């Protein structure tokens, strides 16, 4: 049976080219990067080379990059750090109601400690505007945190416009760019971004390693305390091989960004158009054009997302639903509800996310299999009368 992996928003395959770059650091170069001897210094060079690779793709300085354990840690560090460091200035944060839980659950925890959080509502395409942000800023606002691109529906936010407003009003701007890096060009200087989170395993790098861009001049307190690693911001012996892998992966993903994004957009559109042609009464979730090149999210009326996933899996296709079934909850996704979908329609959603390794044959196979699954499930559905 053909195997087709279309859950790249959850995680991606490690690129063989990245593994090749990591291998020496998993074997011979095992020194502690903080040790002054040659074993340590060789490891140190690997870490610093990765730092400059990350800095280069973001148009940042090497000293502005801190390596972390994952995207979630970068998000937590940014939010908790700003609240702690700027408590004297105010206690108000602005975010959106469709952020990843790494942001939302951190905000909820901060609210319990007395921080005030504004959750900006998005429109039916999953978009917030810079005007909404401008209107929400008060003299107590210390941070705006808005994701670069949404992980469920792929909507790309107007980050440069929001950054401009935050800079004008003197408010720190953080963006969770975990889904955007490697898919969309990012320039932290031009976009006035102060803090940015990214994670290697979302762009064909290894799991368990991320980074936080921290603009020079913004000094957040140490989040993990101990040794002097990461300029005392994040103690603990570095995950050298992971960091080297992150650097190699980000460089690879951004090398021919325009070309690879165009290739992926063409495949994505083939899937979007092909499914629309073959399945009646389906609704594309997310923005029609301001959308990640690798994201397809459809609600298929009258049937359950979970049943679709199960049957896709039986045909070798890995996808995901918008619903939070994995956390044991039957509630549909907070993102789809925020877009204004009814519970019933949100429940019938399926997300297909492409990777660098996705081929045209993969898409053809899904276009052959998914419409048949939808037809079979609808034939069994008491709700469907078509
Ligand atoms: C995956 C993801 C995260 C979490 O990253 P991890 O490295 O898995 O902790 C955060 N935000 C977004 C938008 C994501 O897609």
Which atom of ligand 1 is least distant from the CA of 207? 7
Residues marked as catalytic: 325
Query: What mean pLDDT, rounded, does the chain reach?
Result: 95
**pLDDT digit string (tens) for 141-196?**
999 999 999 999 999 999 999 999 999 999 999 999 999 999 999 999 999 999 99
**pLDDT digit string (tens) for 253-299?**
999 899 999 999 999 999 999 999 999 999 999 999 999 999 999 99
Ligand 1 center–CA 23 separation, angstroms: 25
pLDDT at 383: 81
Probe target for ligand 1 pocket from 176, 182, 250, 292, with the most ligand atoms within 8 Å of CB: 176
Answer yes or no: are the C-beta atoms of 79 and 274 closer than 8 Å.
no
Answer yes or no: are the C-beta atoms of 96 and 144 closer than 8 Å.
no
Residue nearest to atom 6 of ligand 1 (CA): 71
Residue 326 pLDDT level (bands cut at 50, 70, 90):
low
pLDDT at 328: 54
| Percent of the chain scoring above 90 in pLDDT | 92
**pLDDT digit string (tens) for 92-138?**
999 999 999 999 999 999 999 999 999 999 999 999 999 999 999 99
Residue nearest to atom 14 of ligand 1 (CA): 178
> Is it the case that residue 304 has pLDDT exceeding 60?
yes
Ligand 1 center–CA 183 separation, angstroms: 15
Ligand 1 center–CA 220 separation, angstroms: 21
Q: What residue ranges line ligand 1, CB within 6 angstroms?
A: 70-72, 75, 100, 102, 147, 151, 176, 178-179, 199, 201-202, 210
Whole-prediction pTM: 0.97
pLDDT at 376: 96
Residue nearest to atom 3 of ligand 1 (CA): 71
pLDDT at 322: 64
């Amino acid at each position: 049976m053909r195997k087709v992996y279309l859950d790249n928003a959850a995680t991606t395959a490690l690129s063989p080219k990245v593994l090749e770059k990591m291998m020496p650091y998993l074997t011979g170069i095992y020194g502690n990067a903080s040790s002054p001897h040659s074993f340590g210094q060789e490891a140190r060079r690997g870490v610093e080379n990765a730092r400059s690779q990350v800095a280069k793709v973001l148009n940042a300085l090497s000293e502005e990059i801190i390596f972390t354990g994952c995207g979630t840690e970068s998000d937590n560090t940014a939010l908790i750090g700003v609240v702690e460091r700027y408590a004297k200035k105010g206690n108000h944060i602005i975010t959106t109601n469709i952020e990843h839980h790494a942001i939302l659950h951190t905000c909820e925890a901060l609210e319990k400690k007395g921080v005030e959080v504004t959750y900006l509502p998005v429109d039916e395409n999953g978009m917030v505007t810079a005007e909404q942000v401008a209107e929400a800023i008060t003299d107590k606002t210390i941070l705006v945190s808005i994701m670069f691109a949404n992980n469920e529906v792929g909507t790309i936010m107007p980050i440069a416009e929001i950054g401009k407003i935050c800079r004008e009003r003197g408010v720190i701007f953080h963006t969770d760019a975990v889904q955007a890096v490697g898919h969309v060009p990012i320039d932290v200087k031009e976009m006035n971004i102060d803090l940015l989170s990214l994670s290697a395993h979302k762009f064909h790098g290894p799991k368990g390693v991320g980074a936080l861009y921290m603009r020079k001049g913004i000094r957040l307190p140490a989040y993990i305390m101990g040794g002097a690693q990461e300029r005392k911001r994040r103690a603990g012996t570095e995950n050298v091989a992971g960091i080297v892998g992150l650097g190699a992966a980000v460089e690879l993903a951004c090398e021919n960004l325009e070309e690879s994004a165009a290739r992926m957009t063409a495949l994505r559109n083939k899937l979007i158009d092909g499914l629309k042609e073959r399945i009646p009464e389906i609704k594309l979730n997310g923005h029609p054009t301001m959308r990640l090149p690798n994201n397809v999210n459809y609600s298929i009326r009258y049937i359950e997302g979970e049943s679709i996933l199960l049957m896709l899996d039986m045909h070798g296709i890995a996808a995901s639903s918008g619903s939070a079934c994995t956390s044991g909850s039957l509630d549909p996704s907070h993102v789809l509800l925020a877009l204004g979908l009814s519970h019933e329609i949100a429940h019938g959603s399926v997300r297909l996310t492409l990777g660098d390794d996705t081929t045209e044959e993969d898409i053809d196979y899904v276009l052959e299999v998914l419409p048949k699954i939808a037809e079979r499930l609808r034939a069994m559905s008491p709700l469907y009368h078509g």
